[in-house]
Structure 1
Amino acid sequence: MKMYGLIGYPLSHSFSKGFFKEKFEKENITGCQYENYPIPGITEFITLLEAHPQLQGLNVTIPYKEVVIPFLDELSDAAARIGAVNCIHFNGGKKTGYNTDVIGFTKSLQPLLRPHHTRALVLGTGGAAKAIMYALEQLGITYTVVSRRPENGAIAYEALDQATMEAHTLMVNTTPLGMYPKVDTFPEIPYQYLSSRHLLYDLVYNPAETAFLQKGAAQGATIKNGHEMLILQAEASWEIWNKA
Structure 2
Amino acid sequence: MSRFGLIGKNISYSFSRKYFSEKFAAEGIAATYENFDLQHIAQFPEILQKYDDLAGFNVTIPYKEAIMPFLDRLDTTAQEIGAVNTIKLEKNGSLTGHNTDYFGFLKALEPELEKQHQKALILGTGGASKAVIYALKVLGIEPQLVSRTGSKNAILYTQLSEEIIEQHKLIINTTPLGTFPQVEECPAIPTRYLGNEHLVFDLIYNPSQTKLLQLAAAKGAKVQNGQNMLELQAQKAWQIWNEE
Q: d(CA) in 1 for partners of 2:19 and 2:152?
A: 37
**CA shift digits 1:124-156 (9 cap, x unpaired):** 011111111111111110011111000022101
2: CA distance, partners of 1:11 / 1:171: 25
Aligned to 1:16: 16
Distance in 1 separating the partners of 2:196 and 2:155:
24
Q: Which amino acid aligns with 1:69?
A: M
Per the alignment, residue 87 of structure 2 pairs with 88
Partner of 1:10, secondary structure, is coil
Match of residue 63 from structure 1 = 62
Other-structure match for 1:43: 42
Match of 1:196 in 2: 196
Q: Distance in 2 between matches of 1:12 and 1:32?
A: 20
Q: Which amino acid aligns with 1:108?
A: A
- Any gaps of 5 or more consecutive residues in structure 1? none
- Tell me how many residue pairs correspond in the alignment: 243
Q: Which amino acid aligns with 2:189?
A: I
Which amino acid is 1:149 matched to? T
* Cα separation, 2, equivalents of 1:53 and 1:135: 35
* Paired AA for residue 2 in structure 2: K
Paired residues of 2:144 and 2:154 also in contact (CA < 8 A): yes
1:126-165 to structure 2, matched below 5 A, reads 126-165=126-165
* TM-score (normalizing by structure 2): 0.97
Once superposed, which parts of structure 1, at least 4 consecutive aligned residues long, lie more than 3 Å away? none
For the aligned residues, what is the CA RMSD? Answer: 0.9
In structure 1, distance between residues paired with 2:62 and 2:187: 20
* Distance (whole Å) between structure 2 residues aligned to residue 226 and residue 80 of structure 1: 23
Cα deviation for residue 28 of structure 1 reads 2.3
Show the 5 A alignment for 1:160-171.
160-171=160-171
After TM superposition, the score normalised by the length of structure 1 is 0.97
Mapped to 1, the partners of 2:41 and 2:132 lie a distance apart of 24
> In structure 2, how many angstroms separate the alpha carbons of the residues matched to 1:52 and 1:152?
43
Identical counterparts, % of pairs: 49
Q: What residue number does 1:212 align with?
A: 212
Aligned counterparts of 1:5 and 1:180: Cα–Cα separation in 2: 21
Residue type of the partner of 1:117?
H
Equivalent pair of 2:12/2:35 in contact (CA under 8 Å)? no
Contact 2:105 2:229 in 1 (8 A): yes
| Corresponding position of 1:111 | 111
1:230 aligns with 2:230: yes
